Amino acid sequence: MGKKIIGFSAGVTATSLLLIIFLATGLWNRFSSPKTEEHPGTIIITPTEAGTSSNMVQSGHITLNDSKNTKIPMENGETVIAVLNRENKDLQAEDQFVVFSSASDTSREVYITYISYDEESKRYKRLWNAPTAATRNETISLFNQDIIGDRNDCIIVTGMNNRSEHTMTVFRRNLSGTANMFNKIAELQIDGSIVIQETARSLAYQQGITRGQSFNIAANGHDSTSNNILDQIETIYSFNPASGQYEQSSVSRIPGSQVEQRQLREILSGVPGVFEKFINDLWYYVSPQGTIDLKQYIYFDPIGREIIFYGDYAQQVFNWQNSSSTRYGLYIRSQNISIRTLYRFIDIELESLDSLRLRVIEDVQLKIAVNTTWDGSYRRAGAASLKEPVSSIKPAINALYDSSIGRLQFFNTGEYTITSANTARKGRYVFYKVDGQELLELRPFEKNEAENRMVYKVETTGNSALSLSRIRLGTTGIYDLYDTAIILTAAEN
């Protein structure tokens, strides 16, 4: 009888312990709580593991720019511009490439140095230095890519020089064992654009069985023999295995649009603010077939210093940090307002008086890869032949409303004013759609952490008034904040 009581007590104790663990760990919640339905959303950034192969466009290079911290201190007067970290060939310590400028250099050249761990001294050392063609720090982009196809990643530095030319300098690891650790295999400077022409590589290359095809480099510059400003000369450079250098392989003329040359000269004069004012508008993507894509557009706001990218039902807002005039347009450096480590370099070229050509380079500064489809031609919204009216996405309107927060005035300049109790709050606004839902975003001029961006769901009530419901945008869609709705009723001046 005593043994039964002892056994029963032990069983009760064990059951109690299991019940406590069950409640403490929250496992009960999996059974009692209903599963919430998640709406599919666009993932803007996709993490990738080291060694993962993918066919990425140029804007999707894996850049390991964790920070601008270097393994060892730089010399006095040297300013770090960009840092690229990567594992060495032994997959142990990190190698580091640093792009920097030197205050003692009167030529304002930008240099690159290689820092690696030295087994003999048991410390990091600068093992190699070389100049690049770029001289303007704010335009520098640093990344690595296997453009030869032998899995020996090249180090590529792009930027602009003091003549407002695009530059590209390419270094390749020297595997012959000579004293020079890296060879300069390409260095281009041109008053147009420089693009790595990537092509799909075979499955055997992806699996590490065979070499891949080398990528060509295309440089487009002004055709000095033509009277049309938009006519260009395209020079193709191909890798020559015999010399180990990129060499000119073909030259061709690319005719530009025949438009009024006087207007072009004014727009492309290089005067600060002129081209920025010209692109201050909504621009829709033009497919290779020549059709307008209403689901992908870019809105340039030079006054508010913002650029809005909208595609795949996701909106991305970037701060317009700085821009530099080029022969055919503008080169912009921008930073994502939410992901502070995501930068975009936007090379804009004028195609005609109502169309642009864009090339977007991403600098993620994280161990992730980004595939973007922003490259291509864009048509100004007002000049596009659309299948549906542009008013379905209204970047600017002219209207006056009364509401519980005051009198709200929308101006066709893209600005708004809220007047209440003898105070006026001003800012920028934009209407757009996400998953078919019209949204309004207000961005006050006076920034603060709590009210930096206010996003509302816009609905029309029975009496033609507008109802604004505060929401938050996330990667999985729209989240209602359940604040009291703001009713806008039309008012007269």
Residues 229, 140 share a domain: yes
Residues 243, 168 share a domain: yes
Residues 214, 99 share a domain: yes
Residues 73, 215 share a domain: yes
| CA 483 – CA 454 distance, rounded (Å) | 12
Sheet order of strands, 110-118 included: 78-87, 94-102, 110-118, 123-131
Whether 272 is in a domain gets the answer yes
Residue 418, amino acid: I
Whether 46 is in a domain gets the answer no
Whether 36 is in a domain gets the answer no
Q: How many CB atoms lie within 10 A of CB 290?
A: 8
Beta strands in 382-465 (DSSP E): 399-403, 406-410, 415-420, 423-434, 437-444, 454-460
pLDDT at 29: 43
Whether 393 is in a domain gets the answer no
Distance from CA of residue 160 to its chain's centroid?
Answer: 18
Number of structural domains the chain divides into: 3
Of the residues 388, 422, 441, the one at which a domain ends: 388
Residues 266, 214 share a domain: no
Of the residues 354, 388, 422, the one at which a domain ends: 388
Contacts made by residues 307-314, CB under 8 angstroms, sequence distance 24+: 307/332, 307/334, 307/344, 307/346, 308/430, 308/432, 309/374, 310/432, 311/285, 311/373, 311/374, 312/42, 313/41, 313/42, 313/434, 313/435, 314/41, 314/42, 314/44, 314/434, 314/475
pLDDT at 475: 46
Whether 33 is in a domain gets the answer no
Residues 464, 407 share a domain: yes
Residues 226, 91 share a domain: yes
Residues 337, 310 share a domain: yes
Residues 75, 223 share a domain: yes
What does each of the 493 residues of the chain score in pLDDT, given as a tens digit?
554 455 555 555 555 555 554 444 444 444 443 433 333 332 233 333 333 333 333 333 434 344 578 899 999 999 999 998 877 666 666 889 999 999 887 778 899 999 998 888 889 999 999 999 999 998 998 999 999 999 889 999 999 999 989 999 999 998 876 668 899 999 999 998 899 998 889 999 988 889 999 999 999 998 888 888 888 899 999 999 999 999 999 999 988 776 667 777 888 888 888 999 999 988 999 988 888 887 888 999 998 899 999 887 677 889 999 999 998 899 999 988 877 778 899 999 998 888 999 998 876 544 333 445 799 999 988 644 333 333 345 557 888 999 988 999 998 878 899 998 888 888 888 887 776 788 888 888 876 545 667 889 998 887 778 899 998 765 456 778 888 899 999 887 6
Structural domain boundaries enclosing 346:
261-388
- For residues 169 and 176, the answer to whether their CB atoms sit within 8 Å is no
Residues near 10 by beta carbon (within 8 Å), at least 6 away in sequence: none
pLDDT at 385: 39
